[in-house]
Amino acid sequence: MQKRLFKSWARLPIYAASNELIKRLEKIIMNPIRAFRNWRMYNETVRELNKLNARQLSDLGISRADIERIARQAI
């Protein structure tokens, strides 16, 4: 009986509206968090690649000019 009651609630417009509101709030909250994580990963990648010398970078097939592009692709 409880399953039937839950299914009928899912059909109510109020439930659907609140579910949509929750999804929008998650996007509002999570977008800045994702942006911060991406920024941090980008900076960490650039920092780590800049620590390598020219020989190590050439062994990886990377030039100094490619570091920022590679870091952007990493996120």
Q: What average pLDDT values come out for the chain (75 residues) when binned by 10 residues?
A: 53 63 81 91 96 95 94 90
Given this model, what pLDDT does residue 16 score?
59
Inter-axis angle of helices 13-51 and 67-74, nearest 10:
150
Given this model, what pLDDT does residue 49 score?
96
Q: Report the length, in residues, of the chain.
A: 75
State pTM to two decimals.
Answer: 0.63
**What's the CA gap between 43 and 36, in Å, rounded?**
11
**What's the CA gap between 38 and 47, in Å, rounded?**
14
Q: What does the domain layout of the chain look like in residue ranges?
A: 2-74
**What's the CA gap between 27 and 49, in Å, rounded?**
32
Report yes or no: 45 and 70 within 8 Å, Cβ to Cβ. Answer: yes
Given this model, what pLDDT does residue 69 score?
94
Given this model, what pLDDT does residue 37 score?
93
